[in-house]
């Protein structure tokens, strides 16, 4: 399906709302029925129609159908956060006694779920280095039910060979979930590679304006129905109509924003590679990236997030660089209009900071929608004043 069609037309029924170009926000909790029979049908299968907005809502439906189509998936579900999307998709596919193999260092709250929540219910997790697909297969035991992937990850961009892992998992009846937040469906389509559930934090590129928190999963209609009927309705973490409307608005400009951000990212990388304070730039589509060939094979593009290893003898030098940035904001998240920087050392106790470890000197940068020269000038003045 054409991306322009998906973004501008699919699932919109303008005749039904005064030919308004922007869809309405159907801000209602419940929907009324005239016939008991219709009500009975809605009780029977809440996914089949409008009953109550914890389930299906018309504004959310427009978004849901667009997001599914962008992923090339049969269906999608939209949540009130990326973390909720992760939680629901994992929980729906495990039971007591089951085992999960996860790529190491997944997103923080995926990690907390595996380490702190799931063990309370008898579900265990083994972390593996995902750069070699064989590590997943070797860690698989008779109780392994799920592979959790994140490719690329959002700090150091390690990839997993998604088609190879999906093929192996399918043969063994193991469910695969991949966090595709970094690429979005515009740059990578995991479901097309055989992955069962593709998820994203829609807070990032889909929203695109740092004003909404949301998450999305996509996959087969059967898998989405299974998750809808249990975790989606039960945890009640579906997205609200207004936030869904903001995401529809975000989608309208997603390709244009990604295009601009991708172009600017390459310019920023080129400038950084010539800065004496920059020891290394880590970016998956940089020819020097260790998994460059695999990245080229799986991803149509990359942009926005990159990480630098800063040359510094002390933590104070990194702190000074970050605090001297005049326009680039120091904040978590990414995917919005504004450029960001975040130092790894903010999560390391000062007494544990070890400059001999490049990981301690990492600073993640997000290139936003500003003029690339404006971003580069800000980075340069903060580095060169040291």
Ligand X SMILES: *Cc1c(COP(=O)(O)O)cnc(C)c1O
Return the C-alpha torsion angle 67, 73, 75, 77, nearest 10: -50
151 binds ligand X (CB under 6 A): no
Span near ligand X by CB under 6 A; candidates 28-36, 77-85, 246-254, 308-316: 77-85
Span near ligand X by CB under 6 A; candidates 164-172, 198-206, 286-294, 313-321: 198-206
Alpha carbon distance 315, 355 (integer Å): 8
Per-residue binding string, ligand X, 99-118, x by CB under 6 A, is --------x-----------
203 binds ligand X (CB under 6 A): yes
> Of residues 53, 57, 59, 81, which one binds ligand X by CB under 6 A?
81
Which candidate, 219, 208, 328, 217, places its Cα nearest to that of 256? 208
> Of residues 46, 75, 179, 196, which one binds ligand X by CB under 6 A?
179
- Contact at 8 Å (CB) between 322 and 310? no
Q: 345-376: buried (b, 16+ CB within 10 Å) or exposed (e) per residue?
A: beeeeeeebebeeeebbbbbbbbbbbebeebb
> Of residues 140, 181, 184, 210, which one binds ligand X by CB under 6 A?
181
CA distance to 117, 140, 318, per residue, from 340 (Å) = 31, 39, 15
φ/ψ of residue 363, rounded to 5: -130, 125
> Of residues 67, 69, 78, 83, which one binds ligand X by CB under 6 A?
83
Per-residue binding string, ligand X, 250-289, x by CB under 6 A, is ----------------------------------------
Span near ligand X by CB under 6 A; candidates 33-41, 76-84, 248-256, 321-329: 76-84
Indicate the residue among 148 and 289 with the shorter CB distance to ligand X.
Answer: 148
Span near ligand X by CB under 6 A; candidates 75-83, 187-195, 360-368, 370-378: 75-83
> Of residues 55, 58, 208, 215, which one binds ligand X by CB under 6 A?
215
Q: DSSP secondary-structure letter at 24?
A: P
Indicate the residue among 204 and 344 with the shorter CB distance to ligand X.
Answer: 204
- Contact at 8 Å (CB) between 363 and 318? yes
CA distance to 93, 101, 124, 136, 215, per residue, from 118 (Å) = 12, 13, 7, 20, 20
Span near ligand X by CB under 6 A; candidates 122-130, 169-177, 196-204, 263-271: 196-204
- Contact at 8 Å (CB) between 335 and 215? no
Cβ 88 to ligand X, closest distance in Å? 12
Dihedral of alpha carbons 14, 214, 221, 137, sign: positive
> Of residues 23, 55, 58, 82, which one binds ligand X by CB under 6 A?
82
Residues that bind ligand X in the complex, under the rule CB under 6 A: 81-83, 107, 154, 179, 181, 201, 203-204, 213, 215
């Amino acid at each position: 399906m054409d991306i322009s069609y998906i973004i501008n037309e699919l699932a919109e029924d303008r005749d039904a709302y005064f030919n308004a170009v922007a869809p309405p926000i159907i801000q209602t909790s419940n929907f009324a029925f005239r016939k008991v029979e219709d009500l009975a049908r809605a009780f029977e299968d809440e996914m089949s129609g409008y009953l109550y907005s914890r389930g299906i809502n018309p504004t959310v439906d427009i978004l849901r159908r667009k997001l599914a189509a962008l992923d090339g998936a049969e269906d999608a579900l939209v949540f009130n956060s990326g973390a909720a999307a992760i939680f629901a998709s994992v929980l729906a596919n495990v039971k007591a006694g089951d085992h999960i193999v996860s790529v190491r260092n997944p997103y923080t709250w995926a990690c907390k779920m595996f380490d702190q929540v799931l063990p309370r219910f008898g579900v265990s997790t083994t972390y593996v280095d995902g750069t070699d697909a064989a590590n997943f297969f070797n860690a698989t035991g008779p109780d392994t039910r799920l592979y959790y992937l994140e490719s690329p990850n959002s700090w150091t961009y390690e990839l997993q060979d998604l088609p190879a892992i999906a093929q192996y998992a399918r043969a063994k009846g193991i469910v695969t979930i991949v966090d595709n937040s970094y690429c979005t469906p515009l740059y990578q389509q995991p479901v097309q590679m055989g992955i069962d559930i593709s998820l994203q934090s829609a807070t990032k590129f889909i929203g695109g304006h740092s004003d909404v928190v949301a998450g999305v999963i996509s996959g087969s209609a059967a898998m989405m129905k299974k998750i809808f009927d249990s975790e989606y309705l039960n945890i009640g973490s579906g997205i609200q109509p207004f936030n869904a409307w903001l995401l529809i608005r975000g989608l309208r400009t997603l390709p244009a924003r990604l295009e601009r951000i991708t172009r600017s990212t390459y310019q920023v990388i080129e400038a950084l590679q010539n800065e004496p304070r920059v020891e290394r730039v880590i970016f998956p589509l940089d020819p020097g990236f260790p998994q460059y060939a695999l990245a080229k094979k799986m991803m149509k593009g990359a942009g926005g997030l990159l990480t630098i290893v800063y040359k510094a003898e002390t933590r104070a030098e990194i702190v000074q660089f970050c605090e001297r940035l005049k326009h680039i904001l120091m904040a978590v998240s990414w995917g919005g209009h504004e450029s960001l920087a975040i130092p790894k050392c903010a999560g390391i106790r000062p007494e544990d900071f070890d400059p001999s470890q490049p990981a301690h000197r990492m600073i993640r940068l997000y290139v936003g929608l500003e003029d690339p020269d404006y971003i580069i000038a800000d980075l340069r003045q903060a580095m060169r004043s040291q």
